Structure 1
Amino acid sequence: MTDPIDVLGAKAKAASRKLYSVTTDTKNKALTEMAKAIKSGTEQILQANNEDMRVAVAKGTTAALLDRLLLNEERVLDMAKALVDIADLDDPIGKVVDEWKRPNDLDIKRVRVPLGVIGVIYEARPNVTVEAAGLCLKTSNAVILRGGSLAFNTNKALVDILQVAASKAGVPDNAIAMIEDVSHETADKFMALQDLDVLIPRGGEKLKEAVVEKAKVPVLWAAAGNCHTYVDKDADIDMARNIAINAKVQRPGVCNAMETLLVHKDIAERFLPEAIKELQENDVEIRGDETTKSLASDVKEATDGDYYTEFLDLILAIKVVNSVDEAIEHINKFGTLHSEAIVTADEKTAEKFKTNVDAAVVYVNASTRFTDGGEFGLGAEMGISTQKLHVRGPMGLEALTSTKYVIEGNGQVRG
């Protein structure tokens, strides 16, 4: 008997081949209709989400995960808007990236093409369902979605709505698919599905590691963000405090939030007491080294485990360092290659930091919270890649494409 996962994969592969010839106008019409359907289906979506939230709360789910799972009318409208925004983006498919003519008159073009079938495996994040479907459709990729069990009802409601709207607009059936069996056994089969061209995990380090270990196809990961802000001895104190508060407090449960604050010893006494006070007023739990503990009250002792941790919560690790070199060394040891920031007025120090910190995104005098496709002007994204091959940073439309060479001649043969 054929496994249902294999059947789903084969149907998605067939749909992906049909998507090659779907026009930009049809894709944009589908995205617009999908957005309208999400809006009109708000009540249905929220009812499903309420059931998921009830179960999640009963299971003792963390505040950070509950925040990602929760939908309200505003968040549903944001999902619909994301689809409209994707429709407004330029279609990368068919774009000529490079073109040149050889001495033998061969015309060579490098053209952007879809990847094929993209698998997305993610945790309790209903927004990923909509964004992944929209991004994959715009890039003429079929998508198979496998969300976390906590968001099953919400994801099912969303996918049902998206499939109907896309089909009515002329998108091939099975271009947007969902795995409804949320068992670990089925997840393992999904990660080994040969009809996938690439697999994208959206979630924490444990999910990424499991996918990298078990996947039989290339993996493009949106990984954890253990992000740092380094306050240099030449920093503007008010600027540094504002950046630190924003990076930690504005939305702590996301991958571009600051998890560790590094402070130069020459500015620590002037900066930390007031900064910690304001952080604590915003309900942030502080874990610091001995110097930090000596400069403020109610500070827990930080361990190496804390410095390695992506808290995704109102918890912050702090360390006082002797130099920018020590800050860079700390970041390169404990960081996850995501987003790192320095606050300084010294251009040479900033240049050293930019050059030597290994991360997808490096900031000078700005909050790490800006690591986002929309904030970069790239439009919606699949996540933030910390890999060095294929794509690094926000994974927008071009990250979901490949290229092929198209060569036109007039009878040339090789001698």
Structure 2
Amino acid sequence: MTITTNKVNVEEQAIRAKKAGKTLSLLTTEEKNEALLTLADILDQEYETILKANEEDLKNGREKGYEAAFIDRLTLTKERIEDFAQGLREVAELDDPTGITNSDWTLDNGLNVKQVTVPLGVIGMIYEARPNVTVDATGLALKSGNAIVLKGGSSAIISNQAIVDVIHQGLEQTKIPKDAVQFIASTDREATQQLFTMKEHIDVLIPRGGGSLIQAVVNNATVPVLETGVGNCHLYIDAEADVQKALAILVNAKLDRPAVCNAIETTIIHQHWLDKNKDALIDTLQKNNIHVHGDSTITEIIPSAVPAEETDWANEYLCSDIAIKTVANVSEAVQHIETYGTKHSEAIVTENKETAEKFMKLVDAAALYHNASTRFTDGSALGFGAEIGISTQKLHARGPMGLKALTTIKYIMHGDGQIR
């Protein structure tokens, strides 16, 4: 396994990916599906190789003092690798998003016009300490007919290289050329910078990770970017919220996996609901060891709460900490979300349908929930099989990006000598 700190020829890798993509675009749905199933099987077979590599990354991470949430995202287990493989099998079962005729018409002069879906081409994927992205992104790219150039973070580079080595082993048994999956095995930052500007070889960049990574790509890339977002997600508990629903959703959305982007970081509570249910709220927070950063109202009733500072309302804690804000009405809740939210996932708990509808219309976010946890903002949970990221922008794709988000359109005209 070769990992280098030196400059690698990223352009050469991108060229190979583009060439392989031409072959990939000619394959049938059945051939692509067979390849994904082959990759799933070999991941299951070679899990020990991947886990051994992951142990090296984990050892390095602990020596560098990585936080627990970071280590959690980095950690692989046999079960997690089995989940990767199962994700590929689920993607194989999904409809092929390419070659679909969206519309078909014939002009008065007899020229036939079709709008059809086609792959984006070559995807540049830049991500941090999530080895699962290597598999998810590869599976979605290949199923949608795209080649992919992967640039993972240095903290998971040994794990990612091992995963790609296994993927290449599998692809050698299929009709998809292994060059369709490229991994930049370098910790050199210039390698990442190269991806930003290779418009002639890379068709789109998708950054997935923390805010600094995403902004670095958005601000510096000349290649088109499908922007994914960090998750400063909110739960608003309305005056007419059911107590059991509200508390169950709060615990799930905060603690199911605190380190992921669809976990809530702030709970906004209507003052009337708080007055009636503060004992139940305090009991739930204490039982679940949730550490509170609260406004003055909250710190008065929860002795263990610390006063929230301005940075707390914008903070993505990625742990069991939470900020709690009290408001007088739904409009104040919406305004708080507008000020500090990241347009990712927002939820309201209320039995008042009109209030829920107002919240849904006014809040600008990729995913909105009424009486449900934000943890469902996930490609697998929503039936996409897997996701390549969660887009918080508005052009082309928004929310969990599955297969359809990795396609564009092409107009196909058939004539019989027509001229204009």
TM range (shorter): over 0.9
Paired with 1:175 and 1:317, the residues of 2 have a C-alpha distance of: 44
Q: How many residues align?
A: 413
The runs of 5 or more residues in structure 1 that have no matched partner are none
Paired with 1:308 and 1:164, the residues of 2 have a C-alpha distance of: 44
- Which residue does 1:286 correspond to in 2? 292
- Runs of 4+ in structure 1 deviating by more than 6 angstroms, as ranges, are none
Paired with 2:158 and 2:8, the residues of 1 have a C-alpha distance of: 23
Paired with 2:108 and 2:279, the residues of 1 have a C-alpha distance of: 69
Work out whether residues 307 and 334 of structure 1, in 8 Å CA contact, stay in contact via their aligned partners in 2.
yes
Give the deviation of 1:12 after TM superposition: 1.1
Paired with 1:346 and 1:213, the residues of 2 have a C-alpha distance of: 42
- Relative to structure 1, is the Cα distance of residues 155 and 409 closer, same or farther in structure 2, using a 3 angstrom cutoff? same
The 3-state SS of whatever aligns with 1:99 is strand
Mapping for residues 88-127 of structure 1, pairs under 5 Å: 88-127=93-132
State the one-letter code of the partner of 1:262. I
Paired with 2:163 and 2:8, the residues of 1 have a C-alpha distance of: 25
Paired with 1:65 and 1:179, the residues of 2 have a C-alpha distance of: 22
Q: In the alignment, does 2:64 pair up with 1:55?
A: no
Work out whether residues 149 and 184 of structure 2, in 8 Å CA contact, stay in contact via their aligned partners in 1.
yes
- Which residue does 2:18 correspond to in 1? 13
- Which residue does 2:83 correspond to in 1? 78
- Which residue does 2:262 correspond to in 1? 256
Q: Deviations over 1:382-411 (max 9, x none)?
A: 111000001000100010110101122233
Give the deviation of 1:3 after TM superposition: 6.3
Paired with 2:140 and 2:295, the residues of 1 have a C-alpha distance of: 43
The runs of 5 or more residues in structure 2 that have no matched partner are 1-6
State the one-letter code of the partner of 2:219. E
- Which residue does 2:411 correspond to in 1? 405
Q: Alignment partner for residue 385 of structure 1, among 364, 385, 391?
A: 391
- Which residue does 2:230 correspond to in 1? 224
Work out whether residues 8 and 186 of structure 2, in 8 Å CA contact, stay in contact via their aligned partners in 1.
no
Paired with 1:255 and 1:100, the residues of 2 have a C-alpha distance of: 43
Q: In the alignment, does 2:364 pair up with 1:358?
A: yes
Paired with 2:51 and 2:384, the residues of 1 have a C-alpha distance of: 29
Q: In the alignment, does 2:145 pair up with 1:140?
A: yes
- Which residue does 1:187 correspond to in 2? 192
Work out whether residues 379 and 385 of structure 2, in 8 Å CA contact, stay in contact via their aligned partners in 1.
yes
State the one-letter code of the partner of 1:65. F
Q: Deviations over 1:301-340 (max 9, x none)?
A: 1112010111111110000001100000000110000010
Paired with 2:234 and 2:34, the residues of 1 have a C-alpha distance of: 42
The 3-state SS of whatever aligns with 1:110 is strand
Give the deviation of 1:281 after TM superposition: 2.2
Mapping for residues 261-410 of structure 1, pairs under 5 Å: 261-410=267-416
Work out whether residues 114 and 402 of structure 1, in 8 Å CA contact, stay in contact via their aligned partners in 2.
yes
- Which residue does 2:3 correspond to in 1? none
Paired with 1:58 and 1:192, the residues of 2 have a C-alpha distance of: 34
Q: Deviations over 1:8-34 (max 9, x none)?
A: 111111111221112211111111111
Q: Deviations over 1:346-385 (max 9, x none)?
A: 1111111011000001111111111112222222111110
The 3-state SS of whatever aligns with 1:230 is strand
Paired with 1:36 and 1:333, the residues of 2 have a C-alpha distance of: 47
Q: Alignment partner for residue 250 of structure 2, among 244, 251, 275?
A: 244
Work out whether residues 272 and 292 of structure 1, in 8 Å CA contact, stay in contact via their aligned partners in 2.
no
- Which residue does 1:159 correspond to in 2? 164
Q: Alignment partner for residue 170 of structure 1, among 158, 171, 175?
A: 175
The 3-state SS of whatever aligns with 1:48 is helix
Give the deviation of 1:296 after TM superposition: 1.6
Paired with 1:370 and 1:3, the residues of 2 have a C-alpha distance of: 39
Paired with 2:134 and 2:9, the residues of 1 have a C-alpha distance of: 21
The 3-state SS of whatever aligns with 2:253 is helix
Work out whether residues 226 and 255 of structure 1, in 8 Å CA contact, stay in contact via their aligned partners in 2.
yes
Paired with 1:122 and 1:231, the residues of 2 have a C-alpha distance of: 34
State the one-letter code of the partner of 2:182. A
Deviates more, 1:399-408 or 1:273-282: 273-282
- State percent identity of aligned pairs: 47
